[in-house]
Structure 1
């Protein structure tokens, strides 16, 4: 723990004199590094206050209270415990919380070095898997969607849909172990129809697709809803 971390902890513990508290606040205003740490701490506290609060179940409360209920102790046992119990250092809850906050602030401070031009958020994708969407300034949001098909005997697999003009040659899947074919493409939020093309001639819908739609020629297209 460096001097700035110790100073922040002492401030949170109310362990500074009035003059030292004034000097600390002045240092926060003039020192860019200390100010960033302090603002990060305020951000952590503010976001922590927004976390949902869950009430424990009555059964859990009853079990905890049952374990905390003191057993009946005789006066002799109390006297013997008082004479033989070892000294225990007092636990400073405020100090412990400050140390936790400083640790979190250190992590947040490291995250500050990541370029803020890319924001990552979890989104659903095809095949009931999860990937990441990258949002860049000045560009439309896109979702990286992973297509997956199990075809051990296929020589080639591609995907064709309204996102690539129904051209099987644009999006080819790569084969991995076990005959699993996969491909990942970036799509804008919306509703898409697609089919897999095996060996360049056999068109089949995605067996993992949640929804489907007729193609107007008696076949069924797979439907993919992309949202953020």
Structure 2
């Protein structure tokens, strides 16, 4: 079967792609024999569509249904016979060991399920202690870096740096639990400065004063 004949069949089945349709139309334009062949196929399809549709007789339908019932019955009979037919089991040490391993695995899984079901429910997670967001601000236009060190971060200024904002202001917002804290600002990594906005100060024992911050939950 050449390509033109294949395209004709696909045309009758309405299965042509756009590219195949273009190739078929080009071939029809160049080949009169191919056009006559397409006309014969179209006429045959049209005449076949006008043929009367014959309904199967009731006897034929009954025979088909009887065959189906017999097939289903035979299938279930084979399954039933397979389960009910006595069989001789050939026992071997290797097979016994494999069955024992499978039985132990099954028993272990059943025991684990029973233990899990009998175990008391897990206690709910403890509620986390609330925190308060505290805004620390220092005015130091000439500073190159500012950090804060206090008993809330182990007096380690590297853990809490401040960011520079407009007008030479340095600021940071940190979460703190309710309580009393002592802290100082560290400017340019060497200069320790007491917060000028602190409401309270306390001596640090080295000739300087720490700022005191009381954090309370809002009412």
Which TM class, normalised by the smaller chain length? 0.3 to 0.5
Query: What is the TM-score with the length of structure 2 in the denominator?
Result: 0.41
Instruction: Report the structure, 1 or 2, having the larger helix content.
Output: 2
Query: What is the TM-score with the length of structure 1 in the denominator?
Result: 0.40
Larger radius of gyration: 2
Instruction: Report the structure, 1 or 2, having the larger strand content.
Output: 1
